[in-house]
Amino acid sequence: MNKKPLIGITATQEKGDSPASYQIGRHYVKGIAAVGGTPVILPLLQDKEQIKEMAKRLDGLLISGGVDMDPLIFGEEPHPKMGRIDPERDFFEKNILENFLEEDKAVFGICRGCQIINLVLGGTIYQDITSQMDSELIKHSQNAPRWYPTHSIEVEKGSKLSKVLGDGKIKVNSFHHQAIKEGAPGFFVSARAADGVVEAIESKNGQFLVGVQWHPEHLWERDQKTLALFRMFIDHSRR
């Protein structure tokens, strides 16, 4: 029997100075379980030793979508259109990601998760694409059901993504106002939207470090290729 890898999924938390609960969309959890992983919702611990111990016990890490990153962390002042930030989440995700990098374990980032991978490894982001990008943008925050793809992206031939999604154009959903600006050293852009917005990044080395800007957790129940993306992550987590 194949081992069912233990997959940590980072949580979000309520607004306010003293949030009462951690939260995560059930589609993340169900997606991991559907392809043979054992999902675990991760609380936003603030002790580095506890985070390190957590990382040792997990086989894979899914960094979920959520609020904006604190721009001071990556050396910028806040843009007027910056949204809500969560310093505790920033601290936790940065530290657990660094531990996963040291352990050479699989990491899959979705939306905010894609951006934090890029930032921790030395890349940059647009705090607000509508006011900071020069190109004429398509709509990146859709007014449609979350499971419905509303724009196309171009997947690079030979990328990890192309092995399961195919290369060329595919359709994705979209819920963001921030995006990757400059890719981190050692990464390449494996998908872009028609307006040039980065939609996916991958590590060039052997470690599974993949980030996507769209939300596959809402697509996999209706799309087998998206389910295969989750399966690829689980397969690498088993190793």
Token pair belonging to 236? 């690498």
Report which DSSP code applies to 43.
Answer: P
114 an active-site residue? no
Nearest 5 degrees, angle CA 151-CA 153-CA 156? 170
Task: At 149, list the tokens.
Answer: 């793809």
Please confirm, yes or no, whether 217 is among the known catalytic residues. Answer: yes
From the list 27, 140, 176, 215, the catalytic residue is 215
Active site residue 14: no
Backbone angles phi, psi at 69, to 5 degrees: -80, 150
| Number of helices and strands in the chain (H, E) | 7, 13
Q: Is 166 helix (H, G, I), strand (E, B) or coil?
A: coil
**Catalytic entry in 111, 176, 218, 236:** 111
Q: How long a stretch of residues is the chain?
A: 239
At residue 211's C-alpha, the angle toward residues 24 and 113, to 5°, is 35
The alpha carbon of 92 is separated from its chain's Cα centroid by a whole number of angstroms, namely 15
- Active site residue: 176, 217, 218, 236, which one? 217
Name the residues annotated as catalytic.
111, 215, 217
